[in-house]
Amino acid sequence: MSAPGVQSRRPVLGWTIHDSLIIARSTITASFRIPEALFFQLIQPVIFVLLFAFVFGGAIPIPGAEPGSEGDPSLYREYLMPGIFGQTVAFAAAASTVGLAEAMQRGIIDRYRALPMSQPAVLIGNTFANALRQVLVLTVLSITGYIVGWRINDGIVNAILAYLLLLLFAYTVTWVGAYVGLSVPNTETANTAGLIWIFPLTFLSNAFVPITALPTWLQYFAAFNPISALVQATRELFGNPTGAPTDYWTLNNAALYTVISCVVIIAIFAPLAVRKYRTAARK
Amino acid sequence: MRRKESPGVTFVPVTEYAVQAEGLVKEFGDVKALNGIDLVVPRGKVVGLLGPNGSGKTTTVRILATLLKATSGSAQVNGFDVQRQADDVRRSIGLTGQYAAVDEFLTGRENLTMFGGLFHLEKNYVASRSDELLHKFDLADAADRPAKTYSGGMRRRLDLAASLIAKPGILFLDEPTTGLDPRSRIGLWDVISELVFEGTTVLLTTQYLDEADQLADDIVVIDQGQVIAHGTSSELKDQIGGDRIEITLDDEQSAARAIDALSGVVSGEPTTEGAQYSAPVAGGSSVLIDAVRALDARNVSVADIALRRPTLDDVFLAMTGHGAEDQQPERPEPSRRGRRGGR
Ligand SMILES: Nc1ncnc2c1ncn2[C@@H]1O[C@H](COP(=O)(O)OP(=O)(O)OP(=O)(O)O)[C@@H](O)[C@H]1O
Ligand SMILES: [Mg+2]
């Protein structure tokens, strides 16, 4: 006996895309049903912008800025915005962590695993949806930035490249988030574990202060931290101040290093997450 | 709706049994969850897998539904090997797990649409089938509300609807009515009976004895990962045989006197629980008169006295040495209590 109304066969890749899109659509639809969560996801980066722009603004000098303008708050805001962009997209990981941990705990993953669907599609769809949601977040953030004095100074093409780079990074970290979400024992842990590694990673970077302001040993870490490269590349592409030039290859080839990092991280974490998914029992 | 024929359609062997498992063993580290389970479910029948908490019911179902790999042993579902032909098995089955597994933030209809799509069914078919199921399961009014707003019973029904979207020939139901009130339970029983009437094969796990009694053609009793008995409900009852006398005493203190008074009347070891007394008897309803006389002679006053055919509960007790629900005293057990008191 076989199911009625079955669609004709497709190659495996075709079904993977088909199933991923269904999962992605459901994930996005579901996320709009939790207005509070969406609100806080949008408000958090906005608060960061306002805090840094108005509270710390003048206190952080931008080395390499034109003499006499180091303390200019509008300069810091231009410097700051790409940092906030970078930090914000890094938090896209948390949505995948929490979402998958919840799906696992509720047993919905069991249902997916008992369906004749493409199994990696559950993760591909989830990570894709959470990265795509960043489009909305980046839009709100850009408007806020514009209000506090941030500008796109280097043309629309570069700006689009900057946004694409940010989205690529978002997609990359959602795979790490997916792996973490499938590894934690329950949703409570997911809520903390999903965030705990992102904060140090974003602060040990050039997102908010030039890395030359960090102690030397941390400078090395920050220079190889993909978030630093992402932020540096974004600054360059938006035509925002980048701070003093450094000797680090990673920062002098920021866009390239970002793309390489993303590819490497996905190449490591996507298979890990898929394997975890296949073996994970409902907890 | 016709299936679109396509090259390379998998040959579906027609086997006598919808489900066939042999020597299933599952170890989780040191824990031996299954210790050699043999099981068959004939086509079109309902088999009830009955066992207390932790006996291995869910583990068995998860292995059969391709969610877990058995440590050893083999199983075929719809003639397909659960390990080597997992996708074919998945196309043949519907699974309703122990906990309602639907997306809470999606509406009932969106859930069905999503699962239908993931089952690779045609859009039009999914739309009409969803409507049909939503009506059948009394969810039409709530169809466009997020499942988060559903009651426990509604969620269960949606969960069942989701596993029926592709009209599976074989259905696994893991404790389908746990946590439901008596009325929703009976409602779900009706739905399951109807599916069976339409020809669906069902493997159902439960710790409710009356549920197995009500729904299952065959009952497989498992305890600590092993099959300890199997047969129809009446075969199992016959195995332990005999009627029981059940007495509700006026006060708990007289329990000891009651045991003493009835020692010459009953035919086996009595059990007492508070003011409840129960013991096997032989010799039909005349023992009731003997019992009343014996109790009267010792001044034991009685609130209720009845002769009872053995229930699966007794079967369970006799076979495992502990009650099916021993480990879960907090669980409300509406229908069983009602049944006892009334007779
Ligand atoms: N993932 C796991 N890791 C370790 N032990 C497990 C795991 N899953 C089940 N077990 C153990 O295997 C045994 C059987 O569990 P199972 O869930 O199959 O029982 P069950 O009959 O479904 O119980 P319940 O009535 O509580 O649902 C239990 O002792 C349980 O603790
Ligand atoms: Mg169970």
Q: Is the CB of B99 under 6 A from ligand 1?
A: no
- What is the rounded distance in angstroms from the CA atom of residue A185 to the CA atom of residue A189? 7
Å from A33 to nearest chain B CA?
Answer: 6
Two structure tokens written together for A228: 């630093």
Q: Is the CB of B261 under 6 A from ligand 1?
A: no
pTM exceeds 0.90: no
A-chain residues near B169 (CB < 8 A): 1
Å from B183 to nearest chain A CA?
Answer: 25
The stretch A159-174 carries a mean pLDDT of: 97
Whether the CA torsion B80, B86, B88, B92 is positive or negative: it is positive
Map out the domains of chain B with their CATH numbers: 17-237 (3.40.50.300), 243-308 (3.30.70.100)
- What is the rounded distance in angstroms from the CA atom of residue B67 to the CA atom of residue B89? 11
The stretch A115-129 carries a mean pLDDT of: 95
Those residues whose beta carbon sits under 5 angstroms from the ion ligand 2 are B 57-58, 98
- What is the rounded distance in angstroms from the CA atom of residue A95 to the CA atom of residue A100? 8
Q: Is the CB of B26 under 6 A from ligand 1?
A: no
Name the more confident of A47 and B3: A47
Q: What is the pLDDT of residue A57?
A: 64
Å from B120 to nearest chain A CA?
Answer: 6
- What is the rounded distance in angstroms from the CA atom of residue B343 to the CA atom of residue B324? 21
Q: A110 touching B, CB under 8 A? A: yes
> Which residue among A4, A5, A26 sits closest to B106, beta carbon to beta carbon?
A26
B107 DSSP β-pair partners: B146
Write phi, then psi, for B305 (nearest 5 degrees).
-140, 135
Two structure tokens written together for A73: 């708050």
Contact call for B90 and A115, based on CB within 8 A? yes
Q: Which of A23-27, A275-279, B269-273, B327-331 has the lowest mean pLDDT?
A: B327-331
B-chain residues near A14 (CB < 8 A): none
Q: Is the CB of A279 under 6 A from ligand 1?
A: no
Q: Is the CB of A281 under 6 A from ligand 1?
A: yes
The stretch A45-52 carries a mean pLDDT of: 85
The stretch A155-164 carries a mean pLDDT of: 95
Rounded-to-10 torsion of CA B145, B148, B149, B153:
110
Local confidence band at A72 (pLDDT 50, 70, 90 cut-offs): low
Two structure tokens written together for A67: 């003499």
The chain-wide mean pLDDT, for chain A, equals 87
- Give the H or E element holding residue B225: none
**Are the beta carbons of B336 and B242 closer than 8 angstroms?**
no
> Which regions of chain B are under pLDDT 50?
1-10, 326-343
Q: How far is the CA of B56 from the centre of ligand 2 (A)?
A: 7
Sheet holding B271-273, edge to edge: B271-273, B276-281, B243-249, B302-308
A-chain residues near B125 (CB < 8 A): 4-5
Locate tokens 């898929």: which residue?
Answer: A274
Largest Cα separation within chain A, whole Å, is 80
Q: Is the CB of B28 under 6 A from ligand 1?
A: yes
Q: B139 touching A, CB under 8 A? A: no
What does the pLDDT look like over A169-214, one tens digit per residue?
999 999 999 999 999 988 889 988 888 899 889 989 998 888 888 8
Residue A134 has pLDDT above 90, yes or no: yes
Q: A117 touching B, CB under 8 A? A: yes
Residue A272 has pLDDT above 80, yes or no: yes
- The amino acid at B280: P
Strand locations in B44-181 (E): 46-50, 72-77, 80-81, 93-96, 170-174
Contact call for A7 and B121, based on CB within 8 A? yes
B22 DSSP β-pair partners: B74
- What is the rounded distance in angstroms from the CA atom of residue A134 to the CA atom of residue A90? 10
The stretch A210-235 carries a mean pLDDT of: 92
**ipTM more than 0.90?**
no
Q: Which of residues 200-259 of B touch A (CB under 8 A)?
A: none
Residue A267 has pLDDT above 80, yes or no: yes
Q: What is the pLDDT of residue B149?
A: 94
Q: What is the pLDDT of residue A209?
A: 84
Burial class (CB in 10 A: 0-12, 13-18, 19+), B194: exposed
Ligand 1 atom with the shortest distance to the CA of B222? 21
Ligand 1 atom with the shortest distance to the CA of B60? 18
**How far is C-alpha A27 from the chain's CA centre?**
17
Q: Is the CB of B233 under 6 A from ligand 1?
A: no
What does the pLDDT look like over A95-106, one tens digit per residue?
999 999 999 888
Q: What is the pLDDT of residue B333?
A: 37
Contact call for A3 and B166, based on CB within 8 A? yes
- What is the rounded distance in angstroms from the CA atom of residue A106 to the CA atom of residue A192? 19
> Which residue among B4, B102, B148 sits closest to A7, beta carbon to beta carbon?
B4
Ligand 1 atom with the shortest distance to the CA of B52? 25
From A117, which residue of chain B is nearest by alpha-carbon distance? B118
Q: Which of residues 54-83 of B touch A (CB under 8 A)?
A: 62, 65-68, 78
A-chain residues near B66 (CB < 8 A): 113-114
- The amino acid at A27: T
